[in-house]
């Protein structure tokens, strides 16, 4: 989910225009994901480091997120999408925090797609926070607190780094870096990334083995870095 600001700058538009266009891309990708075999989709909307941006841009982003979350609520619920927000909540504006709680409560029964949105999120902080809750942390207990492992991570905008996103969960993720700016990213781009993903051999440290003939692949757990 990277490239909103650069997309806007190339068109002579303010950065917030790029973020608004990016919100439309979120709708396209969320609607397309279930039909492409994605069961869990994580979007990196706002990192803990993004607080360093100009206050005006941060305030506009928070308001855009609040309005978009509320305006999409009926659509998400009707399509069986379960919304989960990961990251800190104590620094969010009160209106956004209330919208987050409302969205999570209203979509709790969704079974078609688990949509995880990272807001004020830092993977390192999440790992440290999970470890503090455990007397004797193990890989299994930490994994249970942090969330599902990622199968495929897509980063748009041409950058080739994780930027503190799902570091634990991406231990064995396949990584795809796209030159496409996020506002231009759509279903066909997602299809192309999934085709590349399914063509890769995932061994998880073991020797290559023949795939079970005719076996049904499990739902993909995909993440898009903003």
Q: Is residue 205 part of a domain?
A: no
CATH number at residue 95: 3.40.1180.10
Residues with catalytic function: 2, 50
Q: Is residue 115 part of a domain?
A: yes
Q: Is residue 213 part of a domain?
A: no
Q: Is residue 97 part of a domain?
A: yes
DSSP per-residue letters across 171-193? TT-EEEE--S-GGG--HHHHHHH
The pTM for the full model equals 0.90
Tell me how crowded residue 156 is: count the other CB atoms within 10 A of its CB.
Answer: 27
Q: Is residue 147 part of a domain?
A: yes
Structural Rg of the chain based on CA atoms:
18
Name the domain count of the chain.
1
pLDDT by residue for the chain (226 residues), tens only, comes to 789 999 999 999 999 999 999 999 999 999 999 999 999 999 999 999 999 999 999 999 999 999 999 999 999 999 999 999 999 999 999 999 999 999 999 999 999 999 999 999 999 999 999 999 999 999 999 999 999 999 999 999 999 999 999 999 999 999 999 999 999 999 999 999 999 999 998 888 887 765 444 445 667 776 665 4
Range of the domain at 169: 4-200+219-225
Helix, coil or strand: residue 156: coil
């Amino acid at each position: 989910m990277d490239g909103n600001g650069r997309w806007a700058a190339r068109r002579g538009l303010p950065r917030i225009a790029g973020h608004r266009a990016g919100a439309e891309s979120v709708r396209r990708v969320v609607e397309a994901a279930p039909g492409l075999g994605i069961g869990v989709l994580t979007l990196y909307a706002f990192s803990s480091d993004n607080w360093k941006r100009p206050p005006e841009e941060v305030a506009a982003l928070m308001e855009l997120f609040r309005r978009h979350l509320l305006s999409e609520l009926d659509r998400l619920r009707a399509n069986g999408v379960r919304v989960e927000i990961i990251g800190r909540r104590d620094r969010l504006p009160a209106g956004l925090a209330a919208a987050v709680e409302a969205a999570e409560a209203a979509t709790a029964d969704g079974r078609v797609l688990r949509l995880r949105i990272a807001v004020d999120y830092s993977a390192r902080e999440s790992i440290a926070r999970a470890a503090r809750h455990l007397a004797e942390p193990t890989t299994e207990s930490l994994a249970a607190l942090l969330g599902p492992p990622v199968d495929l991570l897509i980063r748009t905008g041409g950058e080739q780094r994780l930027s503190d996103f799902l570091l634990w969960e991406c231990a064995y993720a396949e990584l795809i870096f796209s030159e496409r700016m996020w506002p231009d990213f759509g279903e066909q781009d997602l299809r192309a990334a999934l085709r590349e993903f399914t063509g890769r051999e995932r061994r998880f440290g073991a020797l290559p083995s023949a795939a079970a003939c005719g076996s049904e692949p499990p739902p993909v757990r995909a993440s898009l870095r903003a």
